[in-house]
Every structure is written in C-alpha cells, then in structure tokens.
Amino acid sequence: MKYLLAFMTVLLLSAAGAAPADSPDPPENVVTEAAEEFQVRRAIDLEASDTPEDAGGSVRLTWRMETEGIAPDSLGVLRSDPSGAEELIKTLPEGFVMYDDDSAEDGTEYSYRIVSYLDGSTEACSDKAEAVSSAQWIYHGRIGMMIILILMGAVIVYYIESSKRGKKLYIREIAGLTAVDDAVGRATEMGKPVLYIPGIADMDDIQTIASIVILGRVARKTAEYGSTLLVPTSRSVVMSVAQEVVKEGYLQAGRPDAYNRENIQYLTDDQFGYAAGVDGIMVREKPAAIFLLGTFYAESLILAETGRSVGAIQLAGTAMPSQIPFFVAACDYTLIGEELFAASAYLSREPKLLGSLKGQDAAKLFFVILIVVGVIAATIGDYWSPLKSFAEFLRKLVTVT
C-alpha cells in the first residue's frame, strides 16, 4: 500500500510540473530557433522593376521565400500609390515567386509588399520595393534580327530590280520541280488521278502557304492535261483556300467545266485519322502521281510508303528536318527545305520571283560566311581576346530573345 501511495505522489508531482526553482532556463538560442520554426515564412529579396519588352502598364515583381518556418496558405500582393493608399491587387497560391502587375499606370511610382497569409490572417510581410512602369519601343533582343531582315529585304529587292531590268539569273536545276509536269503527264497517260496532299498544318503555317502556291500550278497543269485532281485536306481553312486556288487554276487553263468542287474535300483534323483517310483514297483510287508538299509529322512515312505501294510517282517536299529522310527513302523526288519555298518561282520563271529567289540565295551565302567567320573567331578567340569579343558580338547579333 505504501508503495502505491509513493507512486501516486510521484505521479501527481510530475503532472503538476517541476518547481520553477528546480528547472534551469533553456538557452536563448533554443528559444529563438523554436520560435522561428513556428513563424510563417515571408517573402524576402523582393524586387520590383518595369516589365521588360512590353507595351507599358506593367511592373514585374520577383522574390524568394524564406526556407525556415511554416508555409503560408497564400500570398497577397499589396500596392501603394503615391498618395499612400495601399490595396490588395492579387492573391497568389503559395509557391509563387513572380508576379506581373498589369494594372499599373505608366509614369506612376508604386510601392509593393508581399504578405503571407495563414488561415486567413496576415502572418508575415516582406520589405517594400518600388518601381515605375513604362512602355518600350523596341524588343532589344530582336534588334540583330531586324537588321538582318532589313539587309535581306534590301538584297531581295536589289535582285528583283536586276531581274526586271533583264539581267539573266542562273537558277540551278531542281529535279523534283522539273518532274512536276512529268508526274501530271504520267497520270494523264494512265488515266488515273493526281493526288495532292498539302500537309497537316493550317493556313497560318508558311509551308502550307508554299504548298498552296504550288497547288495552283499543279491544278493548272491537270486542267490543261485533263487529269483528275484530288486534294484531301486536314484543315477546313486549307480546304476553302484550296478550292478557290484549284478553281482559279482551272479557269486560267480555260477548263472551268472540268473543275469538281467535291474533289477538294475535308477529311479530319486528327493526325492519324487523316493519314488513314488519305491511305484509303490512295488504295481505292490508285493515283498515278502523288504530291506530298507542306508540313508533315509522323504520318509522313505512312503516307509515302502507302503511295509507293500503289505504284504512284511521288514528289514530296517539306521543311521539317526530321521528316525529310523518310521522304527521301520512300519518294521518287524530294524537295528539301528551301526548295519547297523556291518551287513557285522555279515553276513560273517570272523575273520578279526569280529575283527574290536569287536574293534568298545571297542571304544564305551571307549567313554561311557569318557562320564560318563566327566559328573561326570563337575558336581563335580562346587565344586572342579581341576575336573573342568579336565572336560574342556575332553571337548577340544572331541571338533572338
């Protein structure tokens, strides 16, 4: 019994806590660390600056969060105007370290703070940062590109003018484009249709535009020869444009009666659905000539191999580097990259178009020289600093941000 009473006494004493005189104070740094552990993290290193390369009316805020303490529920962005009135302009989820205030007025200096919220109340606050918003007139990271574009435009204009004055311009033979007439002629002789596939991209893709330009020439040729032209498209806008272009081609060839609107049809926007649809047309209609010109992705080889299996002469062209090997392996002729864009000028032989083509070649030569000079400067620059600076200048010139 006495053991039980002694045990109860000890238990009661320990539950009541030790007497103050008996317990020494904890070291101060232990108290501070414990307090920090239960403090809500606040934003630190807050920086406010005018949002770069914009039309004004925007201030960019960046900050870091403290790493110790309790994570806040959310963050609030507070803004004070010159009158001193402060307002909450945005509540952000925890984890954000950047915010663009797009409601700023140009020329007004604003002061910003980031507050940390926990359970709906403000628990911590950052230091203040000030900024004034302003509009920029030019993208600084694109000045080099602008200079190059102006130079290129000038060279193209120069060659167009030279061509208009009657200067003979040499354009190398492009086998794929020379074969356009042969392919249409073959289809005519065999009494089979010509299948034209303008890629799977929409009209906002320059390759599709280039393809549509070639389609106009092919349509005129099929109208002259009396062949059937089939154009399945994967985009509605492309279908509408292709219908008009083919119609005009038939009109120009003096055969508007031969134009059949149903031959230019929309299949589907789905990539492989389109590939399946076109494959079906190939297998059923057995075209004698197939043109694959435009933007292609993984469906390129599916289309080209099916076309090959039906015995058609195939002419392909794309600027997609990853698809070119597939076309080279499966098609009779392949327009590689820039040749697709040269097709219109090459086929029409109009002086103005040929001049622009020559200008394009001159611009390419300029870039080749730039690359060679840049490589030499960067290589030798490791041993001779002036060349290193020159290489850096070239790098900045051609870098677009």
Partner 1 sequence: MRLIIPLAITFTAGIIMILNYFIPHQPFRLLGDNLQDWYLIVASGAIFLGAANLMHVHFRKIRLKLKNWKYSPVTIIGFLVMFVLGLIYGVVEGKPFDYLFLNMVAPMGATMFSLLAFFVASAAFRAFRASNWRATLLLTSAFLVMLGQVPIGAMIWDKIPLAKVWLMSIPNTAGQRAVMIGAAMGVVATSLRIIFGIERSYLGGAD
First to last CA, the chain: 87
CA neighbor of 197 nearest in space, from 277, 102, 91: 277
* HSE value, Cβ hemisphere, 13 Å, CA-based, for 400: 6
Q: Which of 142, 255, 286, 388 binds partner 1 (CB under 8 A)?
A: 142
Are 299 and 274 spatial neighbours (Cβ–Cβ below 8 Å)?
yes
272: contact with partner 1 by CB under 8 A:
yes
* Cβ neighbours around 329 below 10 Å, total: 12
Name residues contacting partner 1, limited to 325-354 (CB under 8 A). 326, 328-330, 336-338, 340-342, 344, 348, 350, 352-353
CA neighbor of 202 nearest in space, from 230, 231, 234: 234
Name residues contacting partner 1, limited to 171-210 (CB under 8 A). 202-204, 206, 209-210
Nearer to partner 1, 266 or 291 (CB): 266
The conformation of residue 40, written as its DSSP 8-state character, comes to: B
CB of 46 to partner 1, least distance (A): 25
10: contact with partner 1 by CB under 8 A:
no
166: contact with partner 1 by CB under 8 A:
no
CB of 115 to partner 1, least distance (A): 31
CB of 387 to partner 1, least distance (A): 23
CB of 57 to partner 1, least distance (A): 9
Size of the site for partner 1 (CB under 8 A): 86
235: contact with partner 1 by CB under 8 A:
yes
Looking up tokens 């083509």, which residue turns up? 357
Nearer to partner 1, 114 or 292 (CB): 292
Binding mask 16-55 for partner 1 (x = CB under 8 A): -------------------------------------xxx
CB of 42 to partner 1, least distance (A): 34
| Strands (DSSP E) found in 119-253 | 121-125, 129-132, 194-199, 229-233
CB of 319 to partner 1, least distance (A): 4
Name residues contacting partner 1, limited to 285-304 (CB under 8 A). 298-299, 301-302, 304
Q: Which of 201, 363, 377, 391 binds partner 1 (CB under 8 A)?
A: 363
Give me the phi and psi of 185, to 5 degrees please.
-60, -40
CA neighbor of 277 nearest in space, from 262, 252, 299: 299
* Dihedral (CA of 175, 214, 225, 281) sign: positive
> Which span (2-10, 16-24, 173-181, 362-370) binds partner 1, by CB under 8 A?
362-370
Q: Which of 10, 88, 135, 175 binds partner 1 (CB under 8 A)?
A: 135
Amino acid letter at 317?
G
CB of 139 to partner 1, least distance (A): 6
Question: Coil, helix or strand for 164?
Answer: helix
> Which span (2-10, 178-186, 273-281, 288-296) binds partner 1, by CB under 8 A?
273-281
- C-alpha span between 255 and 201 (Å, rounded): 30
CA neighbor of 207 nearest in space, from 321, 288, 352, 347: 321
Amino acid letter at 298?
A
CB of 39 to partner 1, least distance (A): 41
